[in-house]
Amino acid sequence: MAAKKSGDIWIVLIGVFKRLKAAACLVLALGLLRALHKDLAAVAMRYVEAFRLDPDNRYIHGLLLKIFRVTPKQLREISAGSFLYAALFGTEGVGLVLRKHWAEYLAVVSTALFLPLEAYEIYRRLTWVRLVIFAINILTVWYLAKRIGGRVRA
């Protein structure tokens, strides 16, 4: 019985993490929709000034150039994608917190599908953040697959 409770804690933690990702995607999607009818260049420059950032810094300058090129169509598309991800992560999270078996399968498949893309991004540019996220996702897939496999054999 103790092993089952311990496993449930990990499932609930994964579910809570998925729900946090859903909330972040939802905030992003709503923020992008709010920005749809605004001058993004002016908003970006206000933030640069408010945080006293150097617009000539190569990183800030590169980010500003990307922001200046964003079209309303791209904002709508990214917002729609963020809403879809929020729905997926939210469904996984609620299902895992409620300890539904279908949610474990959904989480394994959806998390595993992004592993090749994450590996490519690490290959392209190695950062600690990417490495940690990749490791967390591998551990999540491994744990859920092992849990599902144990249930299938039983």
Region 38-48: mean pLDDT is 86
Residue range 16-22: mean pLDDT, rounded:
95
Are residues 96 and 11 in contact, defined by beta-carbon separation less than 8 angstroms? Answer: yes
pLDDT for 2 beyond 80: no
pTM given for the model: 0.79
Percentage with pLDDT > 90 across the chain: 63
**pLDDT beyond 60 at 71:** yes
Task: Report yes or no: 15 and 91 within 8 Å, Cβ to Cβ.
Answer: no
Q: How many CB atoms lie within 10 A of CB 60?
A: 15
pLDDT of 92 reads: 96
- Alpha helix (H) residue ranges in 35-71: 40-50, 58-68
Mean pLDDT over 76-89 rounds to 96
